[in-house]
Amino acid sequence: MEQKTVIDGRYVLLEPVGGGGMARVYRARDEVLGREVALKVLREQYAGETEVVERFRREAQVAAGLSHANIVSVYDRGVSAEGDYYAVMEYVPGGTLEDRLEKSGALRPQTAAAVAVQISGALEASHERGVLHRDLKPGNVLVTEYGDVKVADFGSGGSAETSRAGFSRTELSPGTVTYMSPEQARGGEVGPASDLYSLGVVLYEMLTGEPPFSGESEISLALMHVSEPPRPPSELAPGVPEGMEALVLKLLSKSPGDRYTDASELTGDLKRVRDGKPPAHAAAARPETSGTTGRAHRRLLLPAALAVLVLLGLVGWGLFGAPDVRETPVADLAAGVESVQVPGGGGETAGNADPDESVFVHRAAPENISGNSTYLDDPLADGNPEAVVSVTQNWNPDGGTGTYNDRPVGVWYDAEAGQWAIFNQDRAAMPEGAAFNVVVSESSGRTG
C-alpha cells in the first residue's frame, strides 16, 4: 500500500494522517471533483477476511447515512481493481481535539461548553438515526480551520436501541477504556446514555486538562469507571463554574438512568452554561459515593475487568501484552482464588457462592469443540441469551502442560443449541485442551 500513489484511478494519496488496527487514513486528492478528501483504506492483511471486509463496508454505509454540520461526512466507498477497500471522507485540516489538549492544556469553561455543544449536537443527530458512536474521545473529534469541531468514526458504533456488549463481540468497537461508560466496561447494555457518559469524560478533560480517572492498566481504569466517584472538576480547576460542574457530574453518573434523558436535553443545558446561566436539569448533581459492598460489589467488578479484556481482544492483545496477562490472571485475582483447577471436561466453579454468578475455568474438549468454537456448559448460561458472559485466556492450563490458545477470542450465543460458545476471532480451529477463565451473570439488568 505504501508504494501506491493512486487508488481506483481517481484518488491521489498525498500523505498518511492517521489510522488504527484495521485501516490507514490518508490525505488525498479527488482528481474527478478537484478537492482534498480523507481516504480510509483497509489494511492489506484483512482484504481476504470476509467478516472484516463486511464490517468495513457496513461502517462506511452507516456513517454515510449521517448528515450534520458537526459530523465528518462520508462521500463514497468502494474497492479498487487492485483489491483495496476504501472509504472517502471529508478532510478536516485542523488536527484533533486531542492534539489541542496536549499542546495547550485545559480550555476555558465557556470554550469547553461551546465545543461540547457541537459534539452533543452530533450525538443528537446520530441517535435520532439510531446510530451509537461507542468510541467517543478527543482523538475522534476533529477541528476545522475555523475552530469548529466535527465528530468522526460514527460507523464503528451500532444501533442506538441498546445492544449487549456480551452478546456479539464481533459487532463492537472495543472503545477506549479512558472514555468508556461503566455499562460498556461491564459488558452490559449500551445505549445513547453511554455516548453521553463518554462526552462527560471528554468535557471533564477539556475543563481540567486530564480525564477523571487514570490507572496503571485498562483493568484498573475499567474498575474506576464502574465503582469510583470522580473528583469534582473544580478541585483540579478552581475556575470551573458550579453549574458546569453539576452538569459534568450528572453526565458521569454510574447509572445510565441518572444521566441526561437524551442529547437534546444535554445540548440545552450546555447552551445555558455556555451563556452563564445555571443548567436546568443538573442543579442537584453531586459526586457519587461508592456504596456498593460485599457480593454485589464483586459481581460488578469482576465482569467489568474480564469484559474489558474480551473487548480489547477484538484487536489482539492490544495494550495487554500476553506476558502481563500471564503474570496476573485476572479471574484468579478478582475472584480471590489462589489457584484455579482446570476441569476435566466442561467447566468447574472456582469457589464462588453467589447463586446469580458463575466463576469457573472452561476447558475445550472434543465433546464441546465445533470448528473455531468451544461450547460452555453452565446452568446460568444455558438457554439464557440475556446472560453476561465474560472470558479471558487461562494462561496455565493443566499446570502448564495444557494448550495455551494465544488468539483473540469472543463469545456468542447459539440460539439453536441454546448455549454460549467461546470462539477464535481469526477463525482458527479451537485447540483441544485450551482453557478459559469465565464469569457468567444472569443478566446485565440485575443489581444484586
Residues known to be catalytic: 135
Grid coordinates representing 254? 454510574
d(C-alpha 407, C-alpha 426), whole Å: 8
Beta-sheet strands, E only, within 152-256: 163-164, 189-190
Contacts from 265-274 at CB under 8 Å and sequence distance 24+?
266/120, 266/196, 266/199, 267/117, 267/120, 267/121, 267/124, 270/113, 270/116, 270/117, 270/120, 271/113, 271/117, 272/243, 273/109, 273/113, 273/241, 273/243, 273/244, 273/247, 274/110, 274/113, 274/114, 274/117
d(C-alpha 22, C-alpha 47), whole Å: 10
d(C-alpha 213, C-alpha 411), whole Å: 28
Query: Cell 486538562 maps to which residue?
Result: 209
Estimate to the nearest angstrom the gap between the alpha carbon of 137 and the chain centroid: 10
To 10 degrees, what angle do helices 97-104 and 192-208 make?
20
**Nearest one of 413, 393, 414 to 404, comparing CA atoms:** 393
d(C-alpha 269, C-alpha 282), whole Å: 8
d(C-alpha 222, C-alpha 301), whole Å: 9
Q: Which residues contact 188 (CB under 8 A, 6 or more apart)?
A: 164, 165, 166, 388, 444, 445
